[in-house]
Structure 1
Amino acid sequence: MSFNPFSLAGRRILVTGASSGIGRQIAISCADMGAAVVITGRDPTRLDDTLGQLVGDGHTAVPADLLETGAIDRVVAASGALNGVVLAAGIAKMVPFRMISQAHLDTVLGLNVHVPLLLIKSLLAKRSLQQGASIVFVGAVASEVGPVATAVYSASKAALLGAARTLALEVAKHKMRANVLSPGYVRTPLLDALGNTGAKIDALLDITPLGMGEPVDVAHAAVFLLSDASRWVTRSLFIADGGLTTRMSV
């Protein structure tokens, strides 16, 4: 059999936020490419549903609210030795700037920034990440576009790029890589929730050359960043948005 640079066979990948949406599809696609997948999410029922969709053997589900004390330690302990991590857990809430509260900051920055950084820190401290491991932070094009009423969310996703670029320098001696995968508007429950709170999703899709994305479009990009196909890619911002942000910046 010829070498497939996109194969994840023999690798163990941790995916957070795997109970729905993009995180779920990334877990499914990683398993399809041969990985043993460790999945975590807040909803045990939906997480079990994801687990049931993973082909192959060696998969593990760890229900956890990563904002709770001790949850990160439990996930790290259950993960074992890892060859890759996808940090897809996140929250999006629309709040106008004039209505930002401390509680809103704590919730959004806590899950979108503090949790992924502390999780990676713990994995490094426990030496769970193996030589050549790939770390993928899931960002959002909101950090580039800055939609109305998303100041805290946009800021939280923008913070990931700076963190990833510094992290990538610090782990390069171990041939590890860190990148940010930034999806556009993808058909997920999160997008539906944003639409229900007043986001003008249809207007954004009208100016997206390739239209609405699907979770699998982002998952395939994640597989690329986890695999040997991207072994010379680190500190990068990988935008998968159907051409939306390029068109808006011209």
Structure 2
Amino acid sequence: MDNPFSLQGKTILVTGASSGIGRAISIACSRMGAKVVLTGRNKERLNSIFDSLSGNGCQMLVADLTSDEDVRALVGQLPLLDGVVYCAGIGQRLPCKMVMSQDVDEVMNINFKSNVLLQAALLKAKKIQKSSSIVFIASRAASSPSIGNAIYSASKGALISYARCLALELAPRLIRVNCICPAMVATDLILKGGLTMEDLGAAQLQYPLKRYGTPEDVAYLAVYLLSDASAWMTGSCVDLTGGANEL
């Protein structure tokens, strides 16, 4: 019997592949047989991850997804795709009264707008094949408020709403669209948000499973959503929280 979780024969684009969750998803997909196309802004880090991929036929394309020119060049170089995972994103911790126009623009442009415009470009260029799978890395922050996290939470909420509409539009072509909504995952992103290692160590003990997630935890769920094993799953947002109800 064929393995329904295999990604053999599939070509998967992973954005934000140069670190954290994007890195883990790229490596996991390659180990499951996919030809992975890495994209991100940091060429040096992409090179390092590219060297960690399994199998043949993988590609690395450097691009800034907030640049219209880079997006056009990226889409023009892409092969036909069987899956896309949108991992590119930034965090932000800022009290609501301190938010400035540039803060909103920076977070929304990277976490929401760049994903929407790349997806539109891929569809216009007919790069996504029938029966493909699209996965957005959203966040539990969209439905679990925390102080200082307003703009980040809003960007992920917008992404979830967009993905649900996209799922309806692409259903006639059997293209599936789903979101993964992790709680805290141990990456550089949360440290850049102003939390110390001591903060993290104490806070994760409040989780029922007594730890934060790892990038690999998210990667394995992404593999499932990209595989034929999830063929009847679309328009869903999967919480991945270690049992926690709050971030």
Q: Does 1:149 align with 2:186?
A: no
Partner of 2:206: 207
Partner of 1:43: 42
RMSD, aligned α-carbons: 1.7
Partner of 2:54: 55
> Aligned pairs, how many?
246
Partner of 2:218: 218
Partner of 2:7: 8
1:26–1:219 Cα contact (<8 Å) kept? yes
Partner of 1:187: 186
Deviation at 1:200, TM superposition (A): 5.1
Q: Distance in 2 between matches of 1:49 and 1:198?
A: 26
Deviation at 1:191, TM superposition (A): 1.8
Distance 1:213 1:67, change over 3 A: same
1:94–1:197 Cα contact (<8 Å) kept? no
Post-superposition Cα deviations, 1:205-231, rounded to whole Å, max 9, x if no partner, equal 132112121111000000001001111
- Structure 1 segments (4+ residues) deviating >6 Å: none
Stretch moving more, 12-21 or 59-68: 59-68
Q: Distance in 2 between matches of 1:113 and 1:216?
A: 23
Partner of 2:240: 240
Partner of 2:227: 227
Q: Distance in 2 between matches of 1:50 and 1:155?
A: 30
Q: Distance in 1 between matches of 2:176 and 2:167?
A: 6
Unaligned runs of 5+ in 1: none
Post-superposition Cα deviations, 1:52-84, rounded to whole Å, max 9, x if no partner, equal 100001111111111123111122122210000
Q: Which amino acid aligns with 2:218?
A: V
**Percent identity for Structure 1 against Structure 2:** 42
Q: Distance in 1 between matches of 2:147 and 2:197?
A: 10
Q: Distance in 1 between matches of 2:136 and 2:203?
A: 24
Q: Which amino acid aligns with 1:241?
A: T
Distance 1:31 1:209, change over 3 A: same
Q: Distance in 1 between matches of 2:194 and 2:154?
A: 20
Q: Distance in 1 between matches of 2:188 and 2:133?
A: 27
Deviation at 1:196, TM superposition (A): 4.1
2:93–2:194 Cα contact (<8 Å) kept? no
Partner of 1:104: 103
Partner of 1:74: 73
Partner of 2:159: 160
Deviation at 1:87, TM superposition (A): 0.2
Q: Distance in 2 between matches of 1:154 and 1:10?
A: 36
SS in 2 for 1:70: helix
TM-score (norm 2): 0.95
SS in 1 for 2:22: helix
Partner of 1:30: 29
1:195–1:201 Cα contact (<8 Å) kept? no
TM-score (norm 1): 0.94
